[in-house]
Structure 1
Amino acid sequence: MKDLERLRTLIKEPVELVLNQQIQMELISSSKYLAMAGWCDRNGYDNSAGFFYKQSEEERNHAMKLFHYLCDQGATAYTPEVPAVTQEFDSLRAVFETVLEQEIAVTDSINRIIGVCRREGDYATEELLKWYVKEQVEEEYIARRCLELIDQIPADQVYYLDTKLASVTYDKNPFENE
């Protein structure tokens, strides 16, 4: 019976555990971005709201990619509990500070998972995670760039940042050539 269980999945228990934790983290990120979108909508930052709605969907897709991966590998993917998130922010700058903090935490988590994969000899999962590493470099860059712009422009011209965010797509970074 033990041999049959081993054939069920190539993913070892420590990797399965951290991937399920990452699914939860991605869904919490999705929830946070959705709350940010709502705050931006309520405060007249229409393009920023659109950006955060897209980010929320993207984070959910990140979670689903891991969820499907676990299922496809014969492992168990758990539907995580997502706690309530902050709905109010003091300013657009505070929103982007929260974004950067969240993305740094996600990067740290992905790096930790890669360490677990290496310890467990799970090269297939490590290969999958290379996509997440690249994604996190972009996510952190956009958050940092937005904070830099907020600091450089007068408070009454924050709409400039709001308009730049309208051009963010999954394959185009509006700050790349600045």
Structure 2
Amino acid sequence: MTLRTRTPERGLSKFYRLLLEQVGHEFTASHQYFALAAWFDDRDLQQLARVFYRQSLEERDHATMMVRYLLDNEVAPAIPGVGAIETEFGEPRELVALALRQEQRVTDQIRELARVAREENDYTGEQFLNWFLQEQVEEVATMSTLLNIVERAGGNLFDVETWVAREMPDTAGEASGAPETAGPSVS
């Protein structure tokens, strides 16, 4: 029995190297969201905690979608370590503002991946990223809206929790048209 040989990292295109890095960024985002969720959970803000626990799972799934794509393209997925995350916060606004900045940063990273795929004429890579580009529009809009709600509430977290429960229901389930994950999806 012969095992398939995968492309070593040093022989990869710039697109695949950046995609491997992005796997690490997605896992870092997952950890950051988990830290935010735990902060809200510790303060009995269950609706905000639920939103950020779900975001943590979504980011994990994004990483595993990228791993599945790499595996399907015979690229050895050397999983990178998770970057540093923030855990010290003073008020809820700081957490939501961090989440928005994180989504904006990920959007820039995905756009760069798409640019490189196009530059390298990697049409399947570019096509793979289309779902992520659309997802990032939604993620930035969601966090921007949540930040606006937190700011308008003027410190009244009961109002924020009520709004989140009403406007951000748990919509578990696989996103339409989402790429396949490596391993089971939890969204």
TM above 0.5, one fold? Answer: yes
Which residue identity does 2:55 align to in structure 1? Q
Contact 1:103 1:140 in 2 (8 A): yes
Identity %: 31
SS in 2 for 1:158: helix
Correspondences of 1:138-153 after superposition (within 5 Å): 138-153=138-153
Normalized per residue, the structure richer in helix is 1
Q: Deviations over 1:141-175 (max 9, x none)?
A: 0000011111222322333344346514257xxxx
- Structure 2 regions of 5+ residues with no counterpart? 174-187
Kindly state the Cα deviation for residue 53 of structure 1 after the two structures are TM-superposed.
0.9
Q: Matched residue pairs, number?
A: 165
The answer on whether the counterparts of 1:15 and 1:113 sit within 8 Å (CA) in structure 2 is: yes
Q: How does 1:100-139 map to 2 (within 5 A)?
A: 100-139=100-139
Whichever residue aligns with residue 159 of structure 1, its letter is E
Q: What is the rounded CA distance, in whole Å, between the counterparts of 1:116 and 1:152 in structure 2?
A: 40
Q: Deviations over 1:46-68 (max 9, x none)?
A: 11111111111110000000011
1:27 matched to which residue of 2?
27
Separation (CA, whole Å) in 1 of partners of 2:72 and 2:27: 20
Cα-to-partner distance string for 1:106-160 (whole Å, 9 max, x where unaligned): 0000000011101110000100100000100000000000111112223223333
Change (3 A) 1:121 1:170: farther
Where in structure 1 are there 5+ consecutive unaligned residues? 172-178
The superposition leaves residues 47-101 of structure 1 with CA deviations (integer Å, 9 ceiling, x where unpaired) of 1111111111110000000011001101121111113422222111111100000
**TM, length-normalised to structure 2:** 0.81
What does 1:42-53 correspond to in 2, within 5 Å?
A: 42-53=42-53
Deviation at 1:13, TM superposition (A): 1.6
Q: Which amino acid aligns with 2:165?
A: T
CA distance in 2, matches of 1:118, 1:47: 40
Match of 2:161 among 151, 154, 159: 159
Match of 2:182 in 1: none
**2:25, 2:83 within 8 Å by CA — same for their partners in 1?**
no
Question: 1:8 offset after TM fit, Å?
Answer: 6.5
Give the 4+ runs in structure 1 shifted more than 3 A.
none
User: Is 1:27–1:60's contact at 8 Å kept on the other side of the alignment?
Assistant: yes
How far apart are the structure 1 equivalents of 2:81 and 2:56? Answer: 17
Aligned in 2, Cα 1:79/1:136: closer, same or farther, shift over 3 Å? same
Q: Distance in 1 between matches of 2:60 and 2:45?
A: 23
The RMSD of aligned alpha carbons is 2.2
Q: Distance in 2 between matches of 1:101 and 1:169?
A: 23
CA contact (8 A) 1:96 1:143 kept: yes
Q: Aligned AA for 2:134?
A: K
Distance 1:162 1:137 in 2: 19
Aligned equivalents of 1:37, 1:169: Cα separation in 2: 17
